[in-house]
Structure 1
């Protein structure tokens, strides 16, 4: 499940259990959960339990970093699991399941992926199943695994430049790239231009294979008013990329079968 040395959950679990709800921003964004900071930028990185890694995943969906809303949701999930789940892996898996692109963003994501016919390559009726019965096929993650804040607000991925900022680049290489190395060359779907730029850098640096990246996929957020245009312009290219990727995968004897239906 987890890369050696990745999970800090044991260090923070009891602190999270001790919190009372509803969770206040200043409690989460406090010294107690601060991992690192760069006062010159200024950047702050806080702990949140987004460390579950599905090493069997065939598809990896990648965002920039968890935001404050997702951070709150992850802590709430851990607190709610206190008297129900005892195994760390089960708790961390539950956190991932409860924070994977909820609401309109997930609807937009599924709509676009279905239009690209990804579900057919995976033997599914719809990519909606990746968030339910076929969750064993997907890993949802971020370039920066822990919540990052720039000037006290959710980091957007553009300012400061992730690859030119030592603190941020360290997390991309030591955590995200290591996470991908634990998998067997999955299809990587970057959510937006900023994620694509970092993934292409990792490919150029031989951390990942370039043909595993689905280039041209827009961020599915409702706040991205250009997503329809971006998707339309890149649709044919993305369909071709998917066909080439899965053709190569099959030549490696990878199996993308459908799950047993209950």
Structure 2
């Protein structure tokens, strides 16, 4: 298999470039990422629709990955509860090597094809759940093994990779292939590949949450009010929705704990 993510950079003598040349070259490459993601929208759409169907029936969404890919999955999963008000275990990110690997690389963690399924057992993954494998190369044994075993147990599988085909695609019901080409620094998949995966994760989780009713109009009506900025935002949302003054809106929000609950409670009076 040809790993596009490992192909030689299009740029030579990077170490001899000026800072301006380095920055402009990176930016030039980054501008191609969104176009690559756009080409994959039909695949992303199929994945979103399938995930929504499972989650509407009570299923959960899991991400597995190693290195940068694993960290991106954890970031996306961890942002769903505060953004959309879902339970902390509704979207789960797992990285090869465990939580230690979030900050520090764990040697050989991604090379064990059996460990992902072991890690998933800690969350009691079920047949109505969804598992998305994240791997720029599309070949990571940790991810391949996890998807294969999950599929054997009836779990819906998908992937987000930056190559065409490969063993991860073979184990995915709904593969997403975003081919971004060689990295600016050869093989440094934290760059274009990581950006592509982050964009697709944004699209996936946001689209799923919208379809699950976690957005009203263009507002995050179920967001957790974890700081003063969000309380102020929520207050303004309640004011606009109910056409009431700030003091009344703030009191409603404080009493009910979310924009959605505050609005419903007021309308039911």
Q: Same fold (TM over 0.5)?
A: no
Q: Which structure would you say has the larger Rg?
A: 2
* Structure (1/2) with the larger helix percentage: 2
TM-score (norm 2): 0.25
